[in-house]
Homo-oligomer: A and B are copies of this chain.
Amino acid sequence: MAQRKRYLFVCVNRRPDGTPKGSCAARGSVELHARLKELVKARGLAGTAVRACTSSCLDTCWAGPTIAVEPDGYFYGRVKEADLDEILDAFATDRRVERLVLSPEDFILPKELAEK
């Protein structure tokens, strides 16, 4: 194998039920990563173009499930399984799925979700 063109880090952090900001795992990221890995393999991208990894907390819990797209340096958020094909299609032409890209505001914990 060689270094892949892209590494996708899917946050699979799980917080206790009831935590106001929630967590990526509670929003389905474990299953999302498994499906992503299947799709990457099925498209023949696994050894060269894309490696689908899991990661610990990326600190955007409220906007999860979050995927860090590296080395491009942007984050996808609120990703659903139905978005994964579009995400992989976009890589082929080095485009991003803009509606899923987290904005600078998305990195800030909403006040109403702060722990008391």
Interface residues on A, range: 20 to 34
Which one of A1, A3, A71, A109 has the greatest number of beta carbons of chain B within 10 Å? Answer: A3
CB–CB B2/A58 < 8 A: no
CB–CB B53/A2 < 8 A: no
Q: A7 is contacted by which of B51, B54, B68, B109 (Cβ under 8 Å)?
A: B68
Answer yes or no: A16 CB below 8 A from chain B CBs: no
Answer yes or no: A72 CB below 8 A from chain B CBs: yes
CB–CB B70/A73 < 8 A: yes
Expressed in whole angstroms, the Cα–Cα distance for A5 and B33 within the complex equals 24
Expressed in whole angstroms, the Cα–Cα distance for A54 and B75 within the complex equals 16
Q: What are the residues of chain B within 8 A of A108 when measuring CB–CB?
A: 1-2
Hey, what's the 0/1 contact readout for A46-73 against B, CB within 8 Å counting as 1? 0000010111111100000000101111
